[in-house]
Amino acid sequence: MARWASLPDDVLSIVYDGLEVEDVIKLTQLSKIDAARVHNLALPSLLRRTACHHITVDPRETSHTTSATIKDGHAGVLQVTRLVRHNRNIEENFRRRRFLARQVGNTWNRPCRPSIELEPDRLLIATGPSLTVHGLAKDDSYGESVDGRKGVVSIETVPIPLIRGRQVNSSQGGFGRFAQRTAVASPLDDLTGVVSLGSDEYILSTVGGKLQKVQLRSQQVHGPYQKRLQAVSTALYPHTANVPIESLTSSRNSNDPQNKQRFLTASHNGLISLYNAAAPWSAPATFSIGSRPWSSHLSLGGSQPYVVVGSSGLQPLHVYAMGEGGAFDSANRRRNVSVTPARSLLGARIKSAVYDIVSPPTDMANPFSNNPSSILLSAWFDGRARIHDLRVSGMGSLASGADKDDSASMRTRPIMEMFDPWLQSSLYSCAWTGPGNIATGSSRHGMVSLFDTRMLIESRHSLSATRAENTRQAFDQPLLEDSTSTNVDMLRWHRGGYSAYSPGRPESPVYSLKGEGGRLWGVTDRRAFVYTFDVEGDGPGLPQSRGWNIIGPGCEASPPLTTWARRNGGFSTRGETVDDVKDYAAGYAMDDRQLRLFESLR
């Protein structure tokens, strides 16, 4: 014991890094000195190694709250170890392919191209011209439930007020009733995006080029548990009429309150606009890329703010600097100077497109979270998810003939690529989830692929332009070639991972994904779904039933599948049987040559 007590803190830190949670708890019971060292050295190390970005369920916050509870003696140790066990369970379930797959709400009768936004107490889904709000209940150990009752989950379809003055009739029922438009909405009123500004305020974009800010307000109906949401339009922003808005994004990783009020739109005609939500009367800062954009990303949290736009072509992903001399500089617009991207992010060797761009959160057990404003994850048409590090200087090109390009912009190739060798389809969405995992949404079969960025190999090989050759390379690793070859490219390449079908076995793309600590939320053309790696069954923050009738313009009410199907011979209106309503997903491991299916709860 004397030798143990005499060890310096830097040596003990190395020892603590190899200890498990149970060992750390035992050390706190040896002496007051050991307990103090555990509080200062062991617990922060455990939290860093198992950190997850929790949104809807957070046992203990991993920053300021945890620092305070560490000083609370043994009670603080138990609270921190509870968080560590929770995160360890998530990591283990990701590795073992063990998760709950659940449909959120009923199947929509009319296909649409939805988008989602995730907040701590609600899930918002833009479906057609309506905004569907799923309240996410919490238990006593995580906080009060949304409507004051433990385990109660609310759902409402909120009609969006139309600036043109159409009448909106709301049902007079209580909790769980929905409002719908009496008039048939125009296709131009279909929502293309929703982003949160905080304080129950949201920015909505439409196919017709309309941009408006709405506030969700809760109205008391009859009883203490009977409430109804109402969307009130509070601002309308200038935008070219009848020009579809392809992408809507905001900067949520900024600590500056003013930056959190800024959002970015990418229009069908190639116009990129930066708005200030707090000043709807002011014109946006704009620039044009000259082609149709598919995705965009706004980063205002780092020392160098920038905009990323994904389009199509040989080099479809570009970074535009902001500030003086940047893309939004008014002096450049007055001189009619064309905007040159500060950097081109390379990827496919042939023409491709980028459909989604995201940055990692700051609180993940992942090296990329150390500087999230410099890391970009993108989903590509060629079926690959690529990670670019903006701190890396130009490293050559993967595109043939790119070395002859005299473009003034710097070219940066990806530092990591992930793909499913068996899935011959494009990627429409991507997200960060788990302690260090990546999820991608396919363009067919509602397929979601999951990768662990820590399960990578570094090999010398040339990526082929054909999927058959890529599949062969996936199993014939390592491919060590002559370093003098002109076709050899050094790339961190993923080995492993698995893909799973989303609930309902749809043929639709996975249009949008939102990831957090132990949960992955997504939408296809007819349903929303969630994969949960932290609970099995009805847990805190989860929708507890599919027996909800989602009513919206152009979407008739669907009977609850679990009860209605039994009364009609086991079939619903879409041909789904009761046996199809399961809480697990079928999938396969990418490195399995026999391509055997697994079930996520077995």
List alpha helices for 250-290, DSSP H: 257-260
Confidence of residue 16 (pLDDT cuts 50, 70, 90): confident
CA 565 to chain centre: 33
Question: Phi and psi (nearest 5°) for 317?
Answer: -120, 120
For residue 473, what are its two tokens? Answer: 């390379």
What residues form DSSP beta bridges with 123?
118, 134
For residue 105, what are its two tokens? Answer: 């709400």
CA 465 to chain centre: 28
Q: Helix 9-17 crosses helix 43-50 at what angle (to 10 degrees)?
A: 40
Q: What pLDDT is recorded for position 578?
A: 39
What is the C-alpha separation between 541 and 326, in angstroms, rounded? 42
Judge whether 344 and 315 are in contact, CB under 8 Å. yes
CB atoms within 10 A of CB 425: 15
**To the nearest whole number, what is the mean pLDDT of the chain?**
72
Q: Which of 119-123, 139-143, 170-174, 364-368 has the highest mean pLDDT?
A: 119-123
Confidence of residue 302 (pLDDT cuts 50, 70, 90): confident
What is the pTM for the complete model shown?
A: 0.78
Q: What pLDDT is recorded for position 253?
A: 61
Place of tokens 């969700």: 216
Phi-psi region of 242 (alpha: psi -120 to 50; beta: other; left: phi over 0): left
Scored b (16 or more CB within 10 A) or e, 239-263 reads beeebbbbbbbbbbbbeeeebbbbb
Provide the 3-class DSSP secondary structure of residue 308: strand
Confidence of residue 323 (pLDDT cuts 50, 70, 90): confident
Q: What is the pLDDT of residues 230-281, one digit of tens each?
A: 788 888 998 887 889 999 998 766 666 666 788 999 999 999 999 988 888 8
CB atoms within 10 A of CB 426: 19
- Comparing 4-8, 146-150, 222-226, 342-346, which segment has the lowest mean pLDDT? 146-150
- What single-letter amino acid sits at 112? C
Q: What pLDDT is recorded for position 79?
A: 74
The 8-class DSSP code of residue 555 comes to B
What is the C-alpha separation between 207 and 128, in angstroms, rounded? 10
Percent of the chain with pLDDT over 90: 20
Phi-psi region of 97 (alpha: psi -120 to 50; beta: other; left: phi over 0): left
Q: Which of 355-369, 419-433, 587-601 has the highest mean pLDDT?
A: 419-433
Place of tokens 């001189």: 335
pLDDT > 60? residue 397: no
Q: What is the pLDDT of residues 71-96, one digit of tens each?
A: 455 556 667 777 888 888 888 899 89
Residues 6+ apart with CB under 8 A from 319: 306, 307, 308, 341, 342, 343, 344, 345, 390
For residue 281, what are its two tokens? Answer: 């009367």
Q: What is the pLDDT of residues 543-560, one digit of tens each?
A: 543 323 222 333 332 333
pLDDT > 60? residue 433: yes
CB atoms within 10 A of CB 7: 12
DSSP states of 19-84 as a string?
--HHHHHHHTTT-HHHHHHIIIIIHHHHHHHH----SS--SS-TTHHHHHHHTTTHHHHHHHHHHH
Q: What is the pLDDT of residues 355-387, one digit of tens each?
A: 999 999 888 877 788 788 889 999 999 999 999
The 8-class DSSP code of residue 487 comes to T
Q: What pLDDT is recorded for position 490?
A: 45
pLDDT > 50? residue 146: no
Which of 600, 589, 424 is closest to 499 using CA atoms? Answer: 589
Residues 6+ apart with CB under 8 A from 200: 215, 216, 217
Q: What pLDDT is recorded for position 53?
A: 86
Sign of CA dihedral 367, 370, 374, 378: positive
- The CA R_g of the chain, rounded to the nearest whole Å, is 25
Q: What pLDDT is recorded for position 183?
A: 46
What is the C-alpha separation between 511 and 430, in angstroms, rounded? 9
